[in-house]
Structure 1
């Protein structure tokens, strides 16, 4: 598993973006040959911004997911995105509902 910063700095003279780009979970084809998903919580400050300056607002906790596909991949076969879920187990359940073959680190 490669260490990746899901929230690099994004603020500019024009302000902060609303969220970040994300691949779509529903468009992926996950098989048992693909790597396990990385799934980690993204902390937001009291204003609803992540550590890199992107604005997410308030609501359910924010999670970042990433998976490396062996076939039919995204950008260079590394797919990643963001999702809201009540907790990590709920985020896993949402991913497994779309992709029963999904496995997770930890």
Structure 2
């Protein structure tokens, strides 16, 4: 997977969006041929905004996940999204509950 910024600048004269677009984790089919998941905590400021200006509010820590899906005869496709979890291990457990074949970097 190429180096990807999960929180690029957003916003407009009308304000910041609530959250960011995300692929649906439950809709993916993960196999052992797919890449490992990248799982990164996204820091929020005291107002509940990420570094790119999207509003998430307060609550459990926010994590960004990414995986490259491999399909035979097709171009590899990246799937990315956001989730809330109490910590990194809890985020991994949520992903593994849906996809037992999921592997992670680090």
TM-score bracket, normalised by the shorter chain, equals over 0.9
TM superposition shift of 1:3: 1.6
Name the structure 2 match of 1:20. Answer: 20
TM superposition shift of 1:20: 0.1
Gaps of 5+ in 1: none
Q: Distance in 1 between matches of 2:12 and 2:68?
A: 30
| Structure 1 runs, 4 residues or longer, greater than 2 Å off | none
Aligned length: 103
Gaps of 5+ in 2: none
Deviations 1:18-40 (A, max 9, x none): 00000000000000000000000
TM superposition shift of 1:11: 1.2
Deviations 1:76-101 (A, max 9, x none): 61000000000000000000000000
TM superposition shift of 1:2: 2.4
Name the structure 1 match of 2:105. Answer: 105
Name the structure 2 match of 1:8. Answer: 8
Name the structure 1 match of 2:46. Answer: 46
What is the alpha-carbon root mean square deviation over aligned residues? 1.2
TM-score by length of 1: 0.94
Name the structure 1 match of 2:34. Answer: 34
Secondary structure (helix, strand or coil) at the match of 1:94 reads helix
Name the structure 1 match of 2:94. Answer: 94
Q: Distance in 2 between matches of 1:59 and 1:71?
A: 36
